[in-house]
Amino acid sequence: MEKKEYLADTEDSNLLYYEEFRDKETEEPEAAPSPEKDKFEIIGKYTPRIDGGKIVTGQAPFTHDIKLRGMLYGKILRSPHACAEVISVDLSKARSLAGVKAVLQLKKGRVKYAGEQVAAVAAVDEKTAEQALKLIKVEYKPLPFAVTEEKAMEEGAPQVHDMPNIQKFNEYSRGDIEKGFKEADIVIEQTYKTAVEIHHPAETHGSVAKWEGERLTVWDSTQAIFNVRDGLARFLNIPASRIKVIKQYMGGGFGSKLGVNDYTVVVAMLAKEANKPVKITLSRKENSLCVGNRPSALQTIKGGVKKDGTLTALYLKNYTSGGIKRGDRCSEPLIDIYKCPNVKVEELSVFTNTGASRPTRAPGHVQGTFALEGFLDELANEIGLDPLELRKKNYTTKNLGDTEIPYSSKGLDKCYQLGADKIGWKRRNKKPGEGNGKIRRGLGMASQIWWGVGRPGTLADVKLHRDGSVEAVCGTQDLGCGTRTYMATVTAETLGLKPKNVTVKIGSTEYPWCGSSGGSTTTPSVAPAIRNAALKAADYLKKLAAEKLEISPDDISIEKKKFFNKNNPAKSISFKELLGELRREKVFHGEYIGRPSGYAYNTFGSHFAEVEVDTETGQVKVLKVVAVHEIGRVMNKLTAESQVIGGVTQGVSTSLFEERVVDEGTGNVVNPNLRDYKIATCLDIPEIIPLFVDMVDPRINILGAKGLGEPPRIPIAGAIANAVYNAIGVHVRDIPMTPDKVLQALKRKEVG
Amino acid sequence: MEKAKKKKRKTFTRRDFLKGFGGGAISAAVVPQLLAQDIASLRTKEGKIPLFSKKQIILTVNEKKFSLVVEPRETLLHVLRERLNLTGTKMTCNQGECGGCTVLLDGNPVYSCLYLAIRADGKKITTVEGLATDGKLHPVQQAFIEKDAYQCGYCTPGFVVSSVALLNKNKNPTLEEIKKGLSGNLCRCGNYSKIYEAASVASKSMRRS
């Protein structure tokens, strides 16, 4: 079993995202939906989660909590070498240990990073499995390796794959870049660096597999049950029809749980061999090594601007490293968001002997936005312009820098206004670093663009029972964004019920198809599909009620669990009574069919940050963040605010603390835990004010809603870096902005 | 030992604690003493330290008594999750870095992944499953729902228990005190500001009742 094929679908960490969203022609809806007219009672208000009680009492079933009768525990032996030839693997001793039920060799040939799987065991308990791993004898022939980008880029560096370590993977150009530089009054060039970041979801990766004859059931901590099912079918060479994948609750994913994982294939193989259910729960250390990361990026931007703030040229060269896989496409924001006629992009991937990258909440956009937005502030300073004015000056209403098709809706201008007012933008230092004293304060902002559209073909059902109960069903997954809750609110809104009256069923491949929960796609896929099903149910019930009340269906109104005559509200029939009239349960199928072509569908936002920098210690403290987003119709204000707060918090963490460190000597990750890999705590985060622009996309779907998963993660690092710049007058172009880097930057300023 | 721990919680934040640990001061002073205690309790009549001898312990978990035979190496977390099927207490790092496995031990919050089950012998343990009384949620649990103080929900049990521990000791904490009190728990989804808002709401409703 070669590792290579397992990761085939993660070849380019954001390729899947990219292909999915970029101006793809979709099926033309029969009649363009006009959602902006709808006024809602529950949708868009503050609704607590319908499953909150389960979560706060510890009853919500996570994959870690699954325990089946006779279940074995699997463990994986991983390579300690960053690069080595596996000469031989002796499993005999492990196999003969009492309590060991299955042993597998997973690797022949070359291991390419420390942490790559070599063998696996399943035993009656975890301790026995661990003991068995120690009895596996692997003979390695260690080979030279390159674990840092610098080393991998050197002449004659050890090659990670059978090709040079540096590979160009993306190019773009429009206009004439040289002409753009000539037209500019000012041209500058700067380099921005971002570190490799680990997802570290609270629940480590894990799966449970159980065979019943030819049928396989897998419980997986995943963002994509259908992808896991289809991936397992492919790798195990069995029909997808015989596989069921279940995910009820998942402790975070952030992109690292998209698609089938190699250990999930392994757990299914172990279960087959042992003829018993097997569970694998990866350790925190394994989570640091082999289930994905956000690629590093080293981006050089050269750009030109006229004195009035008109951008004339933007050139980006990006070296990005996703370990043994390709890095991230970081150029999208630079290509798209601002008006600039001359743009050139070259992106190169640097292979290193470290774990493979995977999409990480807004892949590429996080790194790209940090560089672009920092660069814009440096340009603004060169021409003495307010950085916000520079952005307004180059505002667009069409995509690809105002050169292609119009955005279906774009509320970025309103984000600027709301954010600037709320933070008090006028308070900022007019000249960066103009304050005095040891502690300096500054304000900064940054803009954001992302996709956040739905997946055409998403299915959902609304089921009516004769006893008056209602189900909303979809094979989607709730990552913690409140999917269950908005499925309930949309159904309830449409049928005149309360959210708690709706039983929501999600998280099984036996339910109607839904794509992976990644790319901010879940809400704009699932909400319109469920609305579509619920509207069909409402129509059917209206007809039924009209018959009973002997009036036309057009005269029926639904409210508060009643169907009544609009013209004579005294005449009504209750929801429960009406459902009792059904001869059998009735299912209504809904689908999200797509959106009209000819428009670009994007989400927008801007973050405004206030920071305090201690110029003696180099410590940065983020005091306040105003995060404004335009995502079309907000489905639930309460959960949407949480999403934004979470994105900002993660961004603060990335900006100040997070970095995976690999030892050049041994090739091993030296901070594979949560003590040395720092994550922000309660004490590190600022006051966060989430705001939403009140608008509805007129055509994206029948609810006018876009996604929100990624957007709040994107602009925060740029806003913080720009606030630090505003405070101390020198730009820290390297995140995490640890005190040493801040002090170095201050020194650079002194030297001038 | 418990006293020392209490004091530490009041005066040290997680980061301070880690800083100290890195410097070696705490590790040198506290750990050997700790080990000596545990080893003494393990010695047989002949003075030998048995490596694999199992021990019978009695735990009172959520007001129910359990008599269990455990190996000395088993953690309280392992016993709760694997033996008593109380999976509300989560294993997030299994090495005392995140607070996901926090339970109350005689009213004090402990990381159950670092606490050996044999040391909990005879003690009273409250897990997230034991906070609701007579089918009524604890005010902290109510406040978490009301304020949406969670996202994926995986760290939530730890935060709920830590919040209860904090509010039992400090009825009217300031925002700063709440932040410090909860700084031993990590939330990767990043919902901290809603979490401490919930703790603050809970403190108000606990004072009222």
User: What residues of B are in contact with residue A674 (Cβ under 8 Å)?
Assistant: 93, 97-98, 186
Distance of CA A363 to the CA centre of its chain: 7
pLDDT band at B40, cuts 50/70/90? low
Can you tell me the mean pLDDT for A623-643? 98
Nearest Cα neighbor of A632 from A439, A437, A454 is A454
Q: Which of A249, A254, A688 sits opposite B193 (nearest CB)?
A: A688
Write down the pLDDT at residue B4.
43
- Which 459-498 residues of chain A touch chain B by CB within 8 A? 479-482
Write down the pLDDT at residue B48.
63
Domains and CATH numbers, chain A: 62-144+205-281 (3.30.365.10), 364-452+599-751 (3.30.365.10), 454-592 (3.30.365.10)
How far is A88 from A568, CA to CA, in rounded Å? 84
Q: Are residues B155 and B113 in the same domain?
A: no
- Of B82, B107, B130, the one marking the end of a domain is B130
Per DSSP bridges, beta strands B64-70 and B108-111 are unpaired
Write down the pLDDT at residue A33.
67
How far is B194 from B209, CA to CA, in rounded Å? 23
Q: Edge-to-edge, what's the strand order for the sheet holding A84-90?
A: A109-111, A84-90, A137-142
Residue B11 has pLDDT above 70, yes or no: no
Write down the pLDDT at residue A61.
97
Closest chain A residue by Cα to residue B190: A646
Question: What secondary structure letter does DSSP report for A157?
Answer: P
Residue B12 has pLDDT above 50, yes or no: no
Q: Does the beta carbon of A739 lie under 8 angstroms from any beta carbon of chain B? A: no
Write down the pLDDT at residue B33.
47
Type of residue at A609: A
Residue A208 has pLDDT above 80, yes or no: yes
Write down the pLDDT at residue A35.
81
Q: Are residues B102 and B68 in the same domain?
A: yes
Length of chain B: 209
Write down the pLDDT at residue A223.
97
Cβ atoms of A72 and A124 closer than 8 Å: yes
pLDDT band at B44, cuts 50/70/90? low
Kindly report the number of other CB atoms within 10 A of residue A251's CB atom. Answer: 29
pLDDT band at A20, cuts 50/70/90? very low
Decide if A55 and B132 are in contact by the 8 Å CB cutoff. Answer: no
Cβ atoms of A182 and A175 closer than 8 Å: no
Report H helices in A607-673.
637-656
Can you tell me the mean pLDDT for A256-270? 95
- Which 186-225 residues of chain A touch chain B by CB within 8 A? 200-204
Nearest Cα neighbor of A692 from A601, A600, A605 is A605
Write down the pLDDT at residue A435.
87
Can you tell me the mean pLDDT for B94-108? 97
How far is A55 from A642, CA to CA, in rounded Å? 15
**Residue bearing the bigger pLDDT, A36 or A224:** A224
Cβ atoms of A462 and A533 closer than 8 Å: yes
CA dihedral A393→A347→A6→A66, nearest 10 degrees, is -30
Query: Which value, in Å, is the radius of gyration of the alpha carbons in chain B?
Result: 18
- Which 337-396 residues of chain A touch chain B by CB within 8 A? none
Cis omega (within 30 of 0) on the bond before A736?
Answer: yes
Per the structure, the count of domains in chain B is 3
How far is A41 from A496, CA to CA, in rounded Å? 9
Strand partners, A110: A85
Write down the pLDDT at residue A4.
35
E strands in A223-374 = 243-246, 278-281, 296-305, 311-321, 342-350
Helix axes A716-728, A365-383, angle to 10 degrees: 30
End-to-end CA distance of chain A: 57
Q: Which of B15, B18, B156 sits opposite A56 (nearest CB)?
A: B156
Whose structure tokens read 């992009």?
A345
pLDDT band at A38, cuts 50/70/90? confident
- Give the 3-state secondary structure of residue B177: helix
Residue A743 has pLDDT above 80, yes or no: yes
Angle (CA) B78 B79 B80, round 5°: 95
Token pair for residue B151? Answer: 């996202």
How far is B97 from B94, CA to CA, in rounded Å? 8
Can you tell me the mean pLDDT for A195-212? 98
Cβ atoms of A507 and A246 closer than 8 Å: yes
Can you tell me the mean pLDDT for A179-198? 98
Residues 6+ apart with CB under 8 A from B208: none
Q: How far is CA A428 from CA A48, A307, A413, A610, B123, in A?
A: 37, 21, 20, 9, 56
Write down the pLDDT at residue B30.
39
Q: Are residues B81 and B99 in the same domain?
A: yes
Token pair for residue A206? Answer: 């894990």
Whose structure tokens read 């080293």?
A298
Report H helices in B89-155.
139-147
Residue A489 is inside which H or E element, if any? helix A483-495
Can you tell me the mean pLDDT for A103-125? 97
End-to-end CA distance of chain B: 33
Residue A1 has pLDDT above 70, yes or no: no
Interface test with B, best of A49, A50, A51, A56 (most B CBs within 10 A): A56
Q: Which of B88, B155, B189 sits opposite A59 (nearest CB)?
A: B88
Three-state SS letters, A717-729: HHHHHHHHHHHHC
Q: How far is CA A517 from CA A197, A487, B145, in A?
A: 20, 15, 23
Q: Are residues B110 and B150 in the same domain?
A: no
User: What is the per-residue pLDDT across A701-737, written as a single tens digit (0 to 9) for each?
Assistant: 999 999 999 999 999 999 999 999 999 999 999 999 9
Q: Are residues B174 and B113 in the same domain?
A: no
Can you tell me the mean pLDDT for A249-265? 95
User: What is the per-residue pLDDT across A548-601, written as a single tens digit (0 to 9) for each?
Assistant: 999 999 999 998 999 999 999 899 999 999 999 999 999 999 999 999 999 999
Residue A697 is inside which H or E element, if any? none
Strand partners, A348: A168, A319
- Mean pLDDT value across chain A: 94
- Mean pLDDT value across chain B: 84
Q: Are residues B46 and B94 in the same domain?
A: no
Decide if A645 and B193 are in contact by the 8 Å CB cutoff. Answer: yes
Cβ atoms of A440 and A732 closer than 8 Å: no
Cβ atoms of A318 and A191 closer than 8 Å: no
Q: Are residues B104 and B70 in the same domain?
A: yes
Can you tell me the mean pLDDT for A462-491? 97
How far is A735 from A747, CA to CA, in rounded Å? 17
Interface test with B, best of A65, A288, A681, A684 (most B CBs within 10 A): A681
> What was the ipTM of the complex prediction?
0.95
Q: Does the beta carbon of A670 lie under 8 angstroms from any beta carbon of chain B? A: no
User: What is the per-residue pLDDT across A276-308, written as a single tens digit (0 to 9) for each?
Assistant: 999 999 999 999 999 999 999 999 999 999 999
Q: Are residues B179 and B193 in the same domain?
A: yes
**Residue bearing the bigger pLDDT, A29 or A99:** A99
User: What is the per-residue pLDDT across A591-626, written as a single tens digit (0 to 9) for each?
Assistant: 999 999 999 999 999 999 999 999 999 999 999 999
Can you tell me the mean pLDDT for B85-114? 97
Q: Are residues B149 and B189 in the same domain?
A: yes
CB pairs under 8 A between A and B: 179
Q: How far is CA B204 from CA A319, B84, B147, B167, B199, in A?
A: 53, 34, 14, 10, 9
Write down the pLDDT at residue B34.
47
How far is A674 from A668, CA to CA, in rounded Å? 16
E strands in chain B = 55-61, 64-70, 102-105, 108-111, 124-126
- Give the 3-state secondary structure of residue A492: helix
Decide if A59 and B86 are in contact by the 8 Å CB cutoff. Answer: no
CATH number at residue B117: 3.10.20.30
CATH number at residue B174: 1.10.150.120
Interface test with A, best of B148, B176, B196 (most A CBs within 10 A): B148
Q: Are residues B32 and B68 in the same domain?
A: no
Token pair for residue A710? Answer: 């990624």
Cβ atoms of A280 and A106 closer than 8 Å: no
Question: What secondary structure letter does DSSP report for A497?
Answer: -
Write down the pLDDT at residue A31.
58
How far is A454 from A231, CA to CA, in rounded Å? 22
Q: Are residues B11 and B67 in the same domain?
A: no
Q: Which of B153, B178, B179 sits opposite A60 (nearest CB)?
A: B153
Per DSSP bridges, beta strands A687-692 and A620-630 are parallel
User: What residues of B are in contact with residue A67 (Cβ under 8 Å)?
Assistant: 82, 85, 87
Report H helices in A39-91.
52-56
In chain A, % of residues over pLDDT 70: 95
User: What is the per-residue pLDDT across A344-395, written as a single tens digit (0 to 9) for each?
Assistant: 999 999 999 999 999 999 999 999 999 999 999 999 999 999 999 999 999 9
Cβ atoms of A100 and A121 closer than 8 Å: yes
Residue A205 has pLDDT above 50, yes or no: yes
User: What residues of B are in contact with residue A642 (Cβ under 8 Å)?
Assistant: 148, 150-151, 189, 191, 194
Can you give the residue range of the structural domain that contains B173? 139-208
User: What residues of B are in contact with residue A251 (Cβ under 8 Å)?
Assistant: 90, 92, 152-155
pLDDT band at B1, cuts 50/70/90? very low
How far is A690 from A692, CA to CA, in rounded Å? 7
How far is B122 from B113, CA to CA, in rounded Å? 18
From A147's Cα to the closest Cα of chain B, the distance in A is 25
